[in-house]
Every structure is written in structure tokens, then in C-alpha cells.
Amino acid sequence: MTDLDLSFTLNGKPVRLHVRPDARLLDVLRYDCGCTGTKEGCGEGECGACTVLLDGLPVNSCLVPAFQVAGRSVETVEAVAPEVTGPLNRTGTAQCGACSPGIVVMTRWLREHPEVLQDATLRQFMSGNLCRCTGYDSVISGVASVLDPKETAGGEGTSA
Ligand code: FES
Ligand code: FES
């Protein structure tokens, strides 16, 4: 199998790599680019741990063939974390932390696209980010506190 040339923008910087034609974006990010903040949970598009932004939209990087990001922009948790991890940490959102990178990326995206919460509750919208530790109340509460610092309810308030 002949490697492919792959050029894209990662966290605002140009990247050029040789990758296997069947490489997953998740593996290219972690093993070729050193962005190990992006985690693998299920590897099947179910858990959201591997969420990154592709041209500004959240995707499960375990399902994205790396060649599909050619010429596009990818943002990982490393780029978005400083904006939202502080508030999330203060609400006890993370326990083992395996789900946290995906939740951080989704939170940043939701903060920029609050209009999507007109048609779904925050709990519904975050249902693609699975967490086996927290029972979700602290996750939803933490995300809500980032989206609206006045929001302290357990996930069913105005923005939840
Ligand atoms: S590892 Fe990608 S969705 Fe679970
Ligand atoms: S904190 Fe452990 S999976 Fe979410």
C-alpha cells in the first residue's frame, strides 16, 4: 500500500505528512501529529471521545479517513481546551477523564453555536458524548456553566 501525501491545517498550523491510504484521522492526530489529547474510546463512532472540529464542525475522528481532511482545517482539544477546561474542572465534570476531550470540544462548539439548543436540550445534544464515570449530571452542569455562567442547574434549565 503506497502512502499518500496529506496536507491540512491543524490547530491553525500547516501540516504535511505521508499517511497510509486507510489511516484514520484519529490515529494521524495521535501518532503522527502528537495530539494525544484526542482519545479513542469505542473506535466505532459511538462515544464521542475522539471528537475534533473539521472545518468548524464536530466529527468523530475515529470514523474519518485521514485523506478526507486534505486541504481542510482540523482543531483538536489542544487548541480549544484553554477556553473551557477551567469552568469544566470547577464543576467536577471529569473523573477518569477519558471522555473529557470530546466534551471540551463539543462545549467549545456549542458556545459558538447556541442556536442548536433551540431544538434540543443540552442533555439531548450531548448524548453523543458518553461518560461511564459521572452519571452525566456533573457533565451537563459543567457544560451549562460554560455556555451560561449563571446556569447552575443540573442540566434541565434554560440552556440545558
Ligand atoms: S472513539 Fe470515536 S466515537 Fe468513540
Ligand atoms: S469521566 Fe470517565 S468516562 Fe467520563
Q: If residue 8 lies in a helix (H) or strand (E), which one and from where to where? A: strand 4-10
Distance 47 CA to ligand 2 centre (A): 11
Q: Are residues 46 and 68 located together in one domain of the fold? A: yes
Q: pLDDT value at position 60? A: 98
- Is residue 8 domain-shared with residue 71, that is, in the same domain? yes
Look at residue 82 and tell me if it is in a domain: yes
Q: What is the pTM of this model?
A: 0.90
Q: Where are the beta strands (DSSP E) in 55-126?
A: 57-60, 73-75
The protein residue with its alpha carbon nearest to ligand 2, atom 2, reads: 96
Are 51 and 82 part of one and the same domain? no
Provide the pLDDT confidence category of residue 158 given band limits of 50, 70 and 90: very low
Cβ–ligand 1 contact at 100 (below 6 Å): no
Report yes or no on 13 lying in a domain: yes
In tens, the pLDDT along 36-79 reads 999 999 999 999 999 999 999 999 999 999 999 999 999 999 99
Pair (9, 47) in one structural domain: yes
Q: What domain count does the chain have?
A: 2
Q: What is the pLDDT of residues 119-132, one digit of tens each?
A: 889 999 999 999 99
The boundaries of the domain holding residue 90 are 77-147
What CATH number is given to the structural domain containing 31? 3.10.20.30
Catalogue the long-range contacts made by 95-99 (C-beta closer than 8 Å, 24 or more residues apart).
95/133, 95/134, 96/132, 96/133, 98/39, 98/41, 98/49, 98/132, 98/133, 99/39, 99/41, 99/47, 99/48, 99/49, 99/129, 99/130, 99/131, 99/132, 99/133, 99/139
Among 36, 52, 75, the domain boundary falls at 75
Ligand 2 site, residue 90, Cβ cutoff 6 A: no
Residue 141, all three cell numbers: 452542569
What percent of the chain stands above pLDDT 90? 71
